[in-house]
Structure 1
Amino acid sequence: MRTVVITGAGSGIGRAIAVRQGAAGDRVVVLERDLAAGEETVAAVRAAEGVADAMQCDVGDADSVAAAFARLERVDALVNNAGIAHVGNVEKTSPEDFDRLFRVNVRGVYHCLHAAIPRMRFQGGGVVLNMASIAAKLGIRDRFAYSMTKGAVLSMTLSVARDYVAENIRCNCICPARVHTPFVDGYIAKNYPEAERRQVFETLSAYQPIGRMGRPEEIAALAHFLLSEEAAFITGVSYDIDGGVTQLR
């Protein structure tokens, strides 16, 4: 049984990936700052007849990550999913905003790679899947800091793939467009009056040429493939899963 470590799997895309991998027979380890949310994901994996555990971990803290990985017997696959968002151009991005996103979205990925890659090398190989975004490739309005972090994730993906290709370690990333997660609902509820929320949701959905947002389960399906032996010939690739945004807008 493989051990698949998934960061930020307390909700949304991370939870969907955890459930999919658990149902496929992997042992899932959820690393989540909010342990209660992580335990909810564990319950969902177990409901799908999978095996899962949760550990409290702040990916932005090197010591927290090192302590979590020290408790693991194996690391066969790592999914760097944990991330936070920010809306604003460079003028509306404070130094504190910038540092907060860098800490989680960039340093968090680095910390987990730094902990997992030596384990994979010792074991004879492994798989890394990073969660980037179409924001790493396109100019998206008011996503200055977020785009910066996802561009870094894409670059780290390519570097790890190149550096460890001869050691049986594959590394790819997924670049979604907007996905309907609890974050989207929370953002709309926080920033718009109730009378406007339906229209805002429809506008956000229409940004994708296909006419809707993605579903977490659709991202999980692609992740499942890239983590599997069916994708054994794929490394150093970024996969757009965006409802046509990258090519059709």
Structure 2
Amino acid sequence: MNEFEGRSAVVTGGSLGIGLAVVRRLAGAGAQVVFGGHEELAVRQAEQDLRRDGLTVRGITGDLSHTATAEELVNAAVEDHGGLDVVVNSAGIQAYGTVEQTSDAEWDRVLAVNLRSVFTVCRAAIPRLRERGGGAIVNVSSVQAVQSQSRVAVYATSKAAIAALTRSIAVDHAVDGIRVTAVLPGSVDTPMLRHSAELMRGNRSVDDVLDDWGHMHPMGRVATSAEVAELVAFLAGPRAGFITGSCHVVDGGLLARLGVALPAREEP
């Protein structure tokens, strides 16, 4: 089903993880996608792989927390494809530490990548979406926007702020026909999660750590990037025409389960 045929999209963080899966999902359904990434090698590799599969994509490297880079990304989509219809903000980094353990530089770095880039890209994109009579923005937040594990002070702050920013843009720009939503994933098998597992694995393998984290979810596993991309595509597409200002959890039941459990039941 080519529900994005003739549509123009930009995706941040599009060279790895969830962002890459979103680029593949949208382009595979007919969208023409310009994606941004921070590392030149990763951007060029993703661009090459996607084009080899016959998808219409273009990668741009740069720091999207900078206004000029955000405008370059948006303008590239308009210049290449005549306008802009869909924006997905998926750029993100993880950092660990309590407030006491977090330096000024680390706080600023995480908020720049995770939050400021959403602001700069949305600010650049909204006039272009308005020119097309509206469109959709989907921001990738996290379950840690609403509940937090230990030692994620700046990461959780950035993700909660994305949820608030999503609501605010949705309210301000509904009159322009622009829908704005957020997705809140649980643990997802991405390079970022595997890096976290590497930091914490001790004598275990990364896969063993991911398996343990997966069993914290009622469904017994972590998500794939493609599963998150499916929700993003739905929210960005025509079937979600009356959905805006809302956050949508994709977490395998993680937030639904209390941490306090009954003893295991003895079978008769």
Of 32, 46, 49 in structure 2, the residue corresponding to residue 44 of structure 1 is 49
Of 14, 18, 25 in structure 1, the residue corresponding to residue 19 of structure 2 is 14
Distance in 2 (CA, whole Å) between partners of 1:196 and 1:32 is 28
Number of the residue aligned with 1:138: 147
Of 37, 53, 65 in structure 2, the residue corresponding to residue 60 of structure 1 is 65
1:196 Cα offset (Å): 5.3
What secondary structure does 2:42 align onto? Answer: helix
Greater alpha carbon shift after TM alignment, 66-75 vs 217-226: 66-75
Distance in 2 (CA, whole Å) between partners of 1:121 and 1:18 is 22
What secondary structure does 1:103 align onto? Answer: helix
> TM-score, normalized by length of structure 2?
0.88
Letter in 2 for 1:211: G
8 Å CA contact retained: 2:84, 2:128: yes
Number of the residue aligned with 1:206: 215
1:189 Cα offset (Å): 2.6
8 Å CA contact retained: 1:130, 1:173: yes
Greater alpha carbon shift after TM alignment, 149-158 vs 84-93: 84-93
Structure 2: which 5+ runs fail to align?
1-5, 259-268
Number of the residue aligned with 1:244: 253
Of 86, 93, 105 in structure 2, the residue corresponding to residue 84 of structure 1 is 93
What secondary structure does 1:226 align onto? Answer: helix
1:40 Cα offset (Å): 2.3
Residues paired across the two proteins, number = 249
Quick one: percent identity of the two aligned structures?
A: 30
Q: Does 1:220 align with 2:225?
A: no
Greater alpha carbon shift after TM alignment, 138-147 vs 235-244: 138-147
Distance in 2 (CA, whole Å) between partners of 1:190 and 1:139 is 19
1:120 Cα offset (Å): 1.0
User: Structure 1 residues 67 and 49 mapped into 2: Cα distance closer, same or farther (>3 Å)?
Assistant: closer
Structure 1: which 5+ runs fail to align?
none
Number of the residue aligned with 2:3: none
User: Structure 1 residues 181 and 123 mapped into 2: Cα distance closer, same or farther (>3 Å)?
Assistant: same
Number of the residue aligned with 2:104: 95
What secondary structure does 2:118 align onto? Answer: helix
8 Å CA contact retained: 1:27, 1:52: yes
8 Å CA contact retained: 1:127, 1:169: yes
Of 118, 129, 144 in structure 2, the residue corresponding to residue 120 of structure 1 is 129
Greater alpha carbon shift after TM alignment, 166-175 vs 188-197: 188-197
Greater alpha carbon shift after TM alignment, 68-77 vs 87-96: 68-77
Distance in 2 (CA, whole Å) between partners of 1:205 and 1:214 is 8
1:198 Cα offset (Å): 4.6
What secondary structure does 1:71 align onto? Answer: helix
1:160-175 → structure 2 map (5 Å cutoff): 160-175=169-184
Number of the residue aligned with 1:108: 117
8 Å CA contact retained: 1:178, 1:242: yes
CA RMSD of aligned residues (A): 1.6
| Alpha-carbon displacement from aligned partner over 1:24-46 (angstroms, at most 9, x marks no partner) | 00001111121321222223333
| Alpha-carbon displacement from aligned partner over 1:190-239 (angstroms, at most 9, x marks no partner) | 44345454542322222212111110010011111111101111111100
Number of the residue aligned with 1:229: 238
